[in-house]
Amino acid sequence: MNILGIETSCDETAAAVVTDGRKIRSNIVASQIELHAKYGGIVPELASRKHVEAINYIVDQAMDEASLRFDELEAIAVTNRPGLIGALLVGVAAAKSLAYCHDLPLLGINHIEGHIYANFMEHEALPFPHVCLTVSGGHTLLVEVQEGWKYEILGTTQDDAAGEAYDKVAQYLGLGFPGGKIIDDLAKEGDSDAIQFPRPMLDRDNYQFSFSGIKTAVRFFVEKAKAAGTLPPIVDIAASFQAAVVDVLVGKTVRAAKAKNLTAITLTGGVAANRQLRESMREAGAEIGAEVYYPPIQLCTDNGAMIAGVAYPKYQEGLRDGLDLNAFASGSIV
Ligand code: KG4
Ligand code: ZN
C-alpha cells in the first residue's frame, strides 16, 4: 500500500512515498536553512512563502523517484499539527488539492507521531512498549509508546526545546544557525568539565525539562569571564554546555525507562543526531539493561517519510479526513 506523505510544519518542504509503512520509495527534502540563517532563526512568513514556491516540485520529485502514478497511491497523508501555522497550511492545501483531484483518501497527521514512528521504520524488531525521547528545535517530549501506537506522555519542556537551547547558545556565541551540529562538532575538541553549568530539574522527581536556564547561565558566564579576562576556549564552553543538556536528557529518560521497567529507549528529532547524546544514552541505558535505538539522520530531522509511515497504521485503523481538514499550531499526540 503506497502512501504519499507531505511535511511542511517548519522550514523543510518535504514529500515522500512509503509502501506498507516501512519501505521508503522516495524521501525528498528541500531545506530552507540558508534562507533563515542570516536571521539567526526561522522567520515564519518567509518559511510559508518558500513552501509555496517549493511544494509542487517536491511532490513531483517524490512521485518521480518512487516511479509511481497518483492512481497507484492508496492515500495522501499530511502534517497538519503542531507547527508554524502558515507553513502547515501550505502542505495541507497541497494535500487537499491532490486528494480531491485524484480522488484519494486524505489523512491529517501529528508531526510528533511521525518523529516517534521514524525509529520503527529503521528498526524492524523494535519492542513495545518503549520509552521515546523526541528532541528537536521545537519539541522536547518524553513518552511511553505502547503497542498500537498509543502513548502515555511522561514529560515535556516547560520553556525552550532542547534544540532551541542549542540554537540560542550558538547564536549568542556568534557561531551560526542552526547551532546543534556546530556545537556538537566544537564540543568534540573541548573539555566538558571545564565549566559547571546547571542541570535544570535533573534532581526533581518528575520527567519535566527546562532549558532556558542553561542558555542564560552560558550568557552570564561568558559576560563575567569576558569582563575578568578569563574567557576559556570556545570548545570548552561548547563541551560544557552540551554536557549539561545531555546529562538532563539522559538522566530523565533512563530514569523513566527504569521506573517503567522498559528495556528499549528510542531517540528521535534533530537533536537525536547529537553524538554525545547517542553515546551517553547508550552507556546509561546499558547500565539498566535497556537498548537504545535511533534513526539515521535523514529520518531524525523533518521529513515526509515519517509522515507517510505513521499514516499506514492509522489508515488501517480507519482514519480518514475530509477536505475541510485544517492546520493547527499546537496539538497533543494523546
Ligand atoms: O527535527 P528538526 O530538523 O526540526 C524541528 O522539528 O525543529 O530539528 C532541528 C534542531 C535544531 O535545533 C538543530 O540545532 C538541532 O535539531 N540539531 C542538533 C544536531 N543536529 C541538529 N542538536 C544537537 N546536536 C546535533 N548534532
Ligand atoms: Zn520535527
* Nearest ligand to the C-alpha atom of residue 272: 1
Find, among 147, 236, 148, the residue nearest to 192 by Cα: 236
Residue 18 pLDDT grade (very low, low, confident, very high; cuts 50, 70, 90): very high
pLDDT band for position 330 (cuts 50, 70, 90):
very high
Nearest ligand to the C-alpha atom of residue 301: 1
Listed residue (204, 127, 116, 219) closest to 173, CA to CA: 219
pLDDT recorded at residue 113: 98
Mutate to test the pocket of ligand 1, among 8, 33, 116, 136 (most ligand atoms within 8 A of CB): 136
Q: If pLDDT is split at 50, 70 and 90, which confidence band does 159 have?
A: very high
Using CA positions, which residue lies closest to atom 14 of ligand 1?
Answer: 180
How far is the centre of ligand 2, averaged over its atoms, from the C-alpha of 139 (Å)?
7
Closest ligand 1 atom to Cα of 275: 26
Residue pLDDT, tens place only, 74-85: 999 999 999 999
- Residues with Cβ within 8 Å of 223's Cβ and at least 6 positions away in sequence, in order, are none
Q: Show the ligand 1 pocket: residues with CB < 6 angstroms.
A: 10, 136-138, 163, 166-167, 178-181, 184, 269-271, 273-274, 301-302
pLDDT (tens digit, 9 = 90+) per residue, 169-221? 999 999 999 999 999 999 999 999 999 999 999 999 999 999 999 999 999 99
State the distance from the centre of ligand 2 to the C-alpha of 245, rounded, in angstroms. Answer: 19
pTM higher than 0.75? yes
Beta bridge partners of 14: 7, 29
b (16+ CB within 10 A) / e for 2-25:
bbbbbbbbbbbbbbbbbbebeebb
pLDDT tens profile 33-48: 999 998 989 999 999 9
pLDDT tens profile 48-82: 999 999 999 999 999 999 999 999 999 999 999 99
Question: What is the full DSSP assignment across 232-271?
Answer: PPHHHHHHHHHHHHHHHHHHHHHHHHHHTT--EEEEESGG
Taking the C-alpha atoms of residue 130 and residue 42, their distance in angstroms, rounded to an integer, is: 32
Ligand 2 centroid–CA 334 distance in Å is 17
> For 209, which DSSP code?
B
Mean pLDDT score, 263-280: 97
* Overall size of the chain counted in residues: 334
| Cell of residue 80, nine digits | 497538519
- The answer to whether 78 and 108 are in contact (CB under 8 A) is yes
Q: How far is the CA of 307 from the centre of ligand 1 (A)?
A: 18
> Nine-digit cell at 203?
534532581
Q: Is the dihedral of CA 204, 208, 214, 217 positive or negative?
A: negative
Q: Count CB neighbours of 255 within 10 A.
A: 19
Alpha carbon distance 107, 111 (integer Å): 12
Q: Which residues surround the ion ligand 2 when the cut-off is CB under 5 Å?
A: 136, 302
Q: Which helix (H) or strand (E) holds 76?
A: strand 75-81
- What percentage of the chain exceeds 70 in pLDDT? 100
CA proximity to 313, closest of 16, 113, 59, 17: 113
301-324 residue pLDDT tens: 999 999 999 999 999 999 999 999
pLDDT at 9: 98
Cα(222)–Cα(204) distance, integer angstroms? 27
* CA 99 to ligand 1 center in whole angstroms: 31
Mean pLDDT of 14-26: 98
Q: CA 203 to CA 205: how far, in whole Å?
A: 6
Residue nearest to ligand 1 atom 22, measured at CA: 180
- pLDDT, the chain, mean: 97
